[in-house]
Structure formats: C-alpha cells, structure tokens
Structure 1
Amino acid sequence: MATTKEQVWAAADELAAEGKNPTLANVRERLGGGSYTDISAAMQVWRANRQAAAAPIREPAPAAITEKLGELAGEIWAAALELANARLSAEREALEQARHEAEQTRQEAADLADQIAAELDQARATLRQQAEQLAAGAAEIERLRGELAANAEALNAATHRADIAEASRAELQARVEQLTGLLREEQAARQEAEADAYAVRADVARLTAELAASERRASDAEARASKAEQETGQARREAESARFAEQAAQARLESAAREIEQLRRDRAEAEERARKSEEEAAELRGRLAAVVPSDQPRGEQPPVRRARKPKDKGEDER
C-alpha cells in the first residue's frame, strides 16, 4: 500500500512534537515502511510549510516614524528596503541554488535508500528461503536416518532368516543322508529276501518234483509219500512266509522311497527359501550402500552371512 503525503506529514508532526528530528529514516520507521522517494517528496513540502510559517512578518514603517522622520526617513527606509530586498534576492538565489543541489542530493540519497531497502528485502527473502531449505534438508536427513535404521533392521532380520534357512537345510541334508542309509539297508534286505525266496522257490520246485515222484511211487512207498507230503507242506509254509516277508520289505521300501521324495521336495523348498533370503539380503545391502554416506567406514556395516550353496542331487545320492 502506497504512503500518502498526509500520513508522512502526520508522522513528521508527531516526531517534531516529541522533540525528535523528523529525518527520512525516523519518518519511515514511524510509518512502518514505505518508499524513500515518496517520503522525501512529502517531507520537502512539509519543511517548506514549516519555514513559511516561521518566516518573520515584513510590514511598512509605522506611521509614527513616518510622521516624525518625514520625507528623509521615508527615503532612508526605502533605501534600506531596497538594500534588504537586494540582499534577500541574492540570498534567495543562493538558497534556491543550495535547495536545488540539496534536492538533487536528497533525490540521489532517496534512490540509494530505495535500492538499499530493495536489496535488504531481497536479502531477507533469500535468508528465509535458505532457512526453509536448511529446515527441509534437516528433515530429509532425519528421514534418511530413519530409513537407514529400518534397512539395518530389515537386513538383520533377513540375515537371521538366512541363518535359520541354512540350519534347516543342513538338518534336512542330514535327514536325507540318514534316510538314504536306511534305503540302502532296505535294498540290501530286499535283495537278501529275494535270494531267500529264490532258494525257497527252488526248494518248492524240487519238492514238487519229489512229490510227483512220490505219488507215482505211492503204491510202493506209502510211508515215504506221507513223509514227502509233510516236507512239501513245510516247504509251502516256508514259501508263504518268504512271500509275506518279501511283501513287507517291498512296502517298507516304497514307504522309504516316498519319505525320501518328500524330503527332497522339502529340501528344494528350503533351498528356494534360502535363495530368496539371500536375494533379499543382497537387495538390502544394495539399498544400505545407497543411503550410507560415502565417508562412513565400511567396517561399521552389519555383517551379512551368505547362505551356503546347496549340494547337487547327485552329491546327495552319493
């Protein structure tokens, strides 16, 4: 809002009434702002009005003096007035010249003051902007610190999960090796049972042949036939027992095979979880390296335990 002449004059009157010098700076401070150019122009009119009000009153010589002095006194008075007017005219010219120079100086000072005030306002605006940027930078630093702490916690959690996955994988590996040993024992038992069954079948065939021969010779050797029949029954019972043993071994072998297959699937899932955990840890390490300042020592980063590479299927079978 522009400052009016009346406001400038009122401020100058207040300062003069308080006994203070109404300078441009004092008037601008009393107004709370404003252009030095406008204030200077209004103050020039104010000072002119004050000088006109304070100027002495010039009147003609009193009638008593004129009557007493007569014509001589009038001539002397006229000469004095002429001399005074001449001197006053010269002083007015000098005063006008000084006023003109003072006006130029005042105008230059007012322009300089306006320029300084504008530069000061710009500097204040720049300071406010820098303060806002500093506050925003501090907030960003705090946010990055929080994100860094969160990333460190996530990295620790991922490392913990990777350790758990590694322990689970090792445990599954031991279980697979144990079941593999059991399977080999079952295979050996099955081979032994097959050998026994083969021997029993051979005995059955042999006894069957002997039974046939005994039946043909039944009429001649009833006692031998009865004995052979008993031996054949025993052989059949042994063959049935061997068949049952073979079926039980086959069932155990199939159960062990299913358990080994389940363990292999569990191991594959554990390896997949370990791989994902390792990828998460690598990603977190990358994000942590991106937000950690370059001047931070590398030794201050939390250690990351890499998951052990799982063995091949062939190595497990071996």
Structure 2
Amino acid sequence: MAYTFEQIHTVADSIAGRGENPTINKVREELGGGSYTTISEAMRYWRARQREKNLLREVQLPQALQERLHKAGAELWQTALNEAEQRLAQRHKELDEDKEQINRQLADAQDVIQSLEREQEQARARIGELGQRLEEREGEIGQLTGELEQYRKELFEAQTLQKSSDKEIAYLHDELNSAKETIGRYEQRFEGLLQRFEQGR
C-alpha cells in the first residue's frame, strides 16, 4: 500500500511523542508496511522540519515575527511537500512503465518457452517414431538373420550331399570302367572262340 507524506509524518510525530526515535523501520512497522523509498524520503523532510522547529524554539523572536516565520515555514514546507509528492508520482509513473516493459518481456519469454516446449514435444514424438521404426527394423533383421542361418544350414547340407554324390559318381565311374574292361575281356574271348569255331568247321 502507498502512503502519503502526511500519513508518514503523523506516525513519526506519534512515535516522537512517546519519547522514541522515529526510525524508518519503526515508522514502517507502525504503518503496517509501505515502500522504504517513500518512507525514507518523507522522513528526510520530517527531520528537516524538526530541526527548523528546534531552531525556532532556541531563538526568542517577537510574536509577530514568529507568526510570519511560522507562516513562511508552513508555506515552504507545503511547497517542499508538493514537490516531494510530484517526484513520488513521477517515480510511480516510471515504475509503472518499467513494470509494463517487464511484463512485455515476460510475455515474450513465455512465448519463446511455449515455442520451445512445442518443439520439444515434436522432437519427443519424432524420437518415439524413430524408436518404433528401429524396433521394426531390428525385428526384420532378426527374421532375416534366421532365414540366413537356415539358408546356410541348407547350403551346408547341399554341399555335404554334393560331396557324397561326387563320391558315389566317382565310384560308379570306377564300376563302369571295370565293367567295360570285363566286357572287353569277354568280347576278346568270344571272338577267340568264334574263330576257333570257324576253323573247326
């Protein structure tokens, strides 16, 4: 809550009236809050006014002169008070402008954060998609690996069968050659017997 100089001075007078030193913290406690800057500025004027009062008490002046000085002091004080109020209002205006600028910067930062959060969500979705595709590819690789292992097994069995067939074919070739030799010997014996038969006729 914003307090006026008059309210602050009233509290300071009350504290001083109890015989206590009206410090900024005490005044703020009595008020129940308030800006340190405003209270400090108001107390500066309050102490200046107290010094003026003390000086006036020490100087014995004619009543008419005292009244004129009191009136001049009151006018001077009112002028200073008005100036302080104007400065405070200007300061409040500047603070409001700073607040608006900070709010704009905060809104821009929030927009950036939301944009980054959307990009992060898209990246997570993309990562999930790529992870699923990777699992599918790993499954396909596993299946192909199984098929390749089966082909290797079948190839090994075919190679083994081929080796066995080659051995059997070589054996049959040997048997065929042996049979041809046997047939050749029989043919020679048959021709010899045939010649002998022709000669015996």
Into which bin does the TM-score normalised by the smaller protein fall? Answer: 0.5 to 0.7
The answer to whether residue 118 in structure 2 is matched with residue 135 in structure 1 is yes
Please, which of 121, 133, 155 is the counterpart of residue 150 of structure 1? 133
Q: Which amino acid aligns with 2:141?
A: A
Matches of residues 57-206 of structure 1 in structure 2 within 5 Å? 94-206=77-189
Per the TM alignment, residue 152 of structure 1 is displaced from its structure 2 partner at its CA by 0.3
Map 1:161-310; keep pairs closer than 5 Å: 161-208=144-191, 210=192, 214=196, 218=199, 221-222=200-201
Instruction: Give the CA deviation at 1:185.
Output: 1.2
Stretch moving more, 199-208 or 180-189: 199-208
User: Once the 2 structures are TM-superposed, how far is the Cα of residue 207 of structure 1 from its aligned partner?
Assistant: 4.2
Cα RMSD over matched residues? 2.9
CA distance in 1, matches of 2:81, 2:185: 149
Shift of the alpha carbon at 1:125?
A: 1.4
Q: How many residue pairs align between the two structures?
A: 133
- Alpha-carbon distance in 1 for matches of 2:175, 2:93: 120
Q: Deviation digits for residues 127-171 of structure 1, max 9, x if unmatched?
A: 221122112112211210111011101111110121022112212
Offset at residue 206 of structure 1 (A): 4.7
Q: CA separation in 1, counterparts of 2:103 and 2:141?
A: 56
AA in 1 matched with 2:182: A
- Normalising to structure 1: TM-score of the pair? 0.37
How far 1:111 moved relative to its partner?
1.5
Between stretches 142-151 and 103-112, larger displacement belongs to 103-112
CA distance in 2, matches of 1:177, 1:90: 125
For residues 41-68 of structure 1, the C-alpha deviation after alignment (integer angstroms, 9 at most, x for no partner) is xxxxxxxxxxxxxxxxxxxxxxxxxxxx
Deviates more, 1:156-165 or 1:106-115: 106-115
Name the CA distance, whole Å, in 2 between partners of 1:205 and 1:104: 145
What stretches of structure 2 of length at least 5 have no aligned partner? 1-66
The alignment-based identity, stated in percent, is: 10
- Per-residue deviation, residues 60-87 of structure 1 (Å, max 9, x unmatched): xxxxxxxxxxxxxxxxxxxxxxx9xxx6
Aligned equivalents of 1:129, 1:207: Cα separation in 2: 112
**1:192: how far off?**
0.8
Q: Which digits, 9 at most, give the CA deviation of each residue in 1:255-310, with x for residues without a partner?
A: xxxxxxxxxxxxxxxxxxxxxxxxxxxxxxxxxxxxxxxxxxxxxxxxxxxxxxxx
Distance 2:74 2:195 in 1: 175
